Chains A and B, each alone.
Chain A
Amino acid sequence: MIKGTVLKYNQENINTDLIIPARYLNNSDPYHLAKHCMEDLDLKFHIKREKLGSNILVGGINFGNGSSREQAPIAIKYSGIDIVIASSFARIFYRNSINIGLSLIEFEEINRLNTGDDLNIDLKNGLLINNTKKESHKISKIPQFLQDIVDTGGLVNYARKLILEK
């Protein structure tokens, strides 16, 4: 169960350059990347996020399109975001997010979510409850083993677990 507050960008194609500009890629420290997260989209990203205590990021269609850089989901994850909800995700961003242990939900009706909304997300049962709007929505569950990858903290940890269990 994930509980938290929404920070929403009602925009399509929030690409990997907006999420983490290439000029910061010469340093792979996740906290350095997080510091510059969303910088070219919104300079106030961190100020807003901290003020609201947001841990749920919401975006539009084709979230994360562009380059295959894994630094994009890393910057989001280390900014204190627990889950990204978007109408749809770009293929490699989706893959990379799972691999580094960032939860994602594909949810078409993002018009039902606004900045500041208080949500309960039950990934196991595929339920999104908007406490602010008193609404509940069905969400498609990600398959158990992708959820397992996310829950173990990403593909590297997941693979280590598989090897050590053998």
Chain B
Amino acid sequence: MLTITEKILRAHSNSKKVVAGDFILADVDKCLANDITAPIAIEVFRKVIIGTGKGVFNKEKIILTPDHFSPAKDVASAEQCKVLREFAKEFEIKYYFKIGKVGIEHCLIPEQGLVKPGELFIGADSHTCTYGALGAFSTGVGSTDLGVAMALGKSWFRVPESIKFIYSGKLNKWVSGKDLILHTIGDIGVNGATYKAMEFTGEIIENLSMANRFTMCNMAIEAGAKNGIINPDKITHSYLKNRFSKDYKTYNSDKNAEYDDLIEYECDKIEPQVAVPHLPENSKPISEIAEENIRLDQIVIGSCTNGRLEDLAIAAKIINKRKISKDIRCIIIPGTQNIYLEALKKGYIKIFLTSGAIVSTPTCGPCLGGCMGILGPEENALSTTNRNFLGRMGHITSKIYLSSPAIAAASAIKGNITSPEYID
């Protein structure tokens, strides 16, 4: 009796007995790197192949996304991006995404149909765990791991034990996947799932949209987990319909699979959440935070956590004909070119621009303090990103609060942290 995580790893190893705790050398289906991690991985890759006459293991299974400091924000970033471009050319990498095609990697890859259920996906980026939402095993690795995988098509793993999270009851108004995961990390802590798989289940998850599922799996790493995962179902299949014909194999956890722990949440009790500085585990209910009238200087709506069309739709619905508060810089970043285009067609971009927000080309930008909205001394930001570590968005005395797009949009109008419930 196995978990979905055990089944996928077993299927990719050469042993039919693999269970949690075992170490395996497994075949990887895809490997991914970005403008920060690829240059080192490429150096490792060259060390591996030198003198062997070999190249990459499969030029259709390597994905390169210059998304972090791009369009290049300075000369150093331009040099990094150049390494990717030249490598992609030399080895004819099929999925190298240039500016104009690229988006934030974890929004882009599922959208482009580059990850399927049942796959083993590694990326030199910690939020690679996002694709567990599609029932794949995907996890972040180091640059050496990735460099070797590009040559060998293999990587080693310790098969993780799983923790089963069960979400039951009913979702309160304005509560999204972001609130569920912030609440969960608040409950178990930033080390609460170290080494483990977080398997999200229950009637709430069964009815949750793909965008919300991506958001939840995206933040599994913020609890120290190796991967987040959701058993594929109707919602998964309909998301994949136009991306794949039926050529994928799905795995589901057995009913009596073994779990390290079962943790159940009664969702009727969960309000929209805000994680206060400086850890994602510092989540608090909005009713409590709204009373504090926390002054804001900047709002960011975007990132691999919440930069999808559904996120922009909620923000647009709340902002509607209202104006962004006069003291707030509101920066909205669609995750990919397609999301941007769809948001344009649906009129969201017009709503944002008329309200006094700005809309950026897809990039990680402020999420990691790269560009497009760096915080100055003692500034406060509310952001839909995933990490509120000290100094992550700019100056060491600045502060980051994390929330869903709904809370972020309402707060942009009000000028301090609030809920859509309180803005009229």
Contact = CB atoms under 8 A, between A and B. Distances in A.
Interface of A: 68, 70, 90-92, 95-96, 98-100, 142-143, 145-146, 149, 154-156, 159-160, 162-164
A95 B226 CA distance: 12
Contacts of A154: 144
Given A95-B141, A155-B144, A143 B23 contact: yes
Nearest to B52: A163
Nearest to A145: B25
A156 B49 contact: no
Interface of B: 22-23, 25, 44, 47-49, 52, 54, 126, 141-145, 147-148, 151-152, 154, 156, 194-195, 224, 226
Nearest to B48: A159
Contacts of B145: 95, 99, 155
A92 B48 CA distance: 21
Contacts of A92: 142
A70 B23 contact: no
Contacts of B52: 160, 163-164
A91 B48 contact: no
Contacts of B154: 162
B144 A96 contact: yes
B23 A159 contact: no
A99 B142 contact: yes
A54 B49 CA distance: 35
A100 B145 CA distance: 10
A95 B142 contact: yes
A22 to B, nearest CB: 13
B10 to A, nearest CB: 15
A164 B195 CA distance: 33
A149 B156 contact: yes
B143 A156 contact: no
22 contacts: A68-B126, A90-B194, A96-B144, A98-B156, A99-B145, A99-B148, A100-B144, A143-B23, A145-B25, A145-B156, A146-B23, A154-B144, A155-B145, A156-B47, A156-B48, A156-B148, A159-B148, A160-B48, A160-B52, A162-B152, A163-B49, A163-B151
A95 B23 CA distance: 11
Nearest to B148: A159
Contacts of A68: 126, 142
Contacts of A145: 23, 25, 156
